[in-house]
Structure 1
C-alpha cells in the first residue's frame, strides 16, 4: 500500500523554515540565512546573562523599580507588548523578574534586569553582543 503524494506548503510569518531530524540531515530549508528581527532571542540572551552572572544577579536580590522602568512598562502596554504591571517603588526579586521575562515574555522585566547591570542597560546590551559573538551567533546583534 503506497502513501498518497503530499505537497507541503511552508508558510511562516518570518517566511523561512528549517526542518531537520535530530542529529540528521536537513530535510527542507527556505530563506534560512535571511536576517530578521530577533524578538524572543533577546529575552533568552537576557536570561542567559542573568543566570550566568550570579554575583551580579543573585536570584534573591531585590531591585526597586525606578520611575523610568515603570514608564517603560506603560509604553509597552500602549504598544500591546507583553508586560507585567510594574510600579515605581515596587520591590521585586531577580527570580520574579526572570519568571516574568520567560513565562509571559514580559519585555519590561528584561529592561529592569538590563538596567541593573553594572553600567546600566547600554553596558548590558554591549555584553549581550560580546556573548553572542562568544557563542558564535555570527548574525546576531542586539
Structure 2
C-alpha cells in the first residue's frame, strides 16, 4: 500500500504541475505572436510617420526651388531689358558721334547711359527685397 500511495502522490503532484506547465507553454505560444504583431505595427506606424515627414520636407524643398528659379528668371528678364536699353543708348551715342552732335547732346546721352546700370541695381534690390518678404 505504501508503494501505491507513493505512486498516487506522485501522480497527484505531477498532474497539476504538468497541466500548469502545458498551459504556460500554450499561453506563451499564443501571446508571443500577438506581441510580435503589435511591435511590428508600432514599427510600421513609425516608418509611415517618418515617410510623411520626408514627403513634407520634399514638397517644401520643391517649392523653394521653384521660388528661386522664378526669382532667377525675373532677375534675368530685368538684366536682359537693361542690356537692350544699354545697347540702344550706345547706338544713339555712336550715331551722335558720327553726326558730330553737340557736346550738350552727348553729355545728356552719356548721363542717360550711366543712369541705366544704377537703375538696374535699384530694380534688382527691389525685386530681391520683395521676394524675401
Structure with larger Rg: 2
TM-based fold match above 0.5 = no
Higher RCO (CA-CA < 8 Å; seq separation 6+): 2
Q: Answer 1 or 2: which has greater helix percent.
A: 2
Shorter-chain TM-score range: under 0.3
**TM-score normalised to the size of structure 1?**
0.22
**TM-score normalised to the size of structure 2?**
0.22
